[in-house]
C-alpha cells in the first residue's frame, strides 16, 4: 500500500473531523460553563483545517 499525498491528506482530514466531533461533544455534554465555548471554538478550527486539507487533495 503506497501512501501518496492524496491518501495522507485523506487520512489527515478524517482524523481532524473525528477530533472535531469529539471536541464538540465535549463542549455540549461535559462542560456547561465557559470552557464549553473554548472547546467549541477549537472544534470549529479543526473543521476549518479539515476543510482546507480536503480542498488540497489533488492539487499538491
- Each residue of 5-55: pLDDT tens digit? 888 888 999 999 999 999 999 988 988 888 889 989 999 999 999 999 888
Average pLDDT of every residue of the chain: 89
pLDDT of residue 5: 85
- Angle at the Cα of 40 from the Cα atoms of 38 and 41, rounded to 5 degrees: 65
Q: Output DSSP code: residue 57.
A: T
Q: What local confidence, expressed as pLDDT, does residue 45 receive? A: 93
Query: What are the angstrom distances between the C-alpha of 18 and each of 10, 43, 46?
Result: 12, 10, 9
Cβ 20 vs Cβ 43: under 8 Å: yes
Angle at 38 (CA atoms; ends 37, 42), nearest 5 degrees: 115
Residue 20's pLDDT is what? 92
Amino acid at each position: 500500500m503506497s501512501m501518496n499525498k492524496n491518501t495522507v491528506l485523506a487520512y489527515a482530514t478524517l482524523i481532524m473531523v473525528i477530533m472535531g466531533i469529539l471536541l464538540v461533544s465535549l463542549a455540549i455534554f461535559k462542560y456547561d460553563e465557559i470552557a464549553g465555548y473554548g472547546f467549541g471554538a477549537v472544534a470549529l478550527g479543526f473543521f476549518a483545517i479539515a476543510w482546507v486539507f480536503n480542498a488540497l487533495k489533488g492539487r499538491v
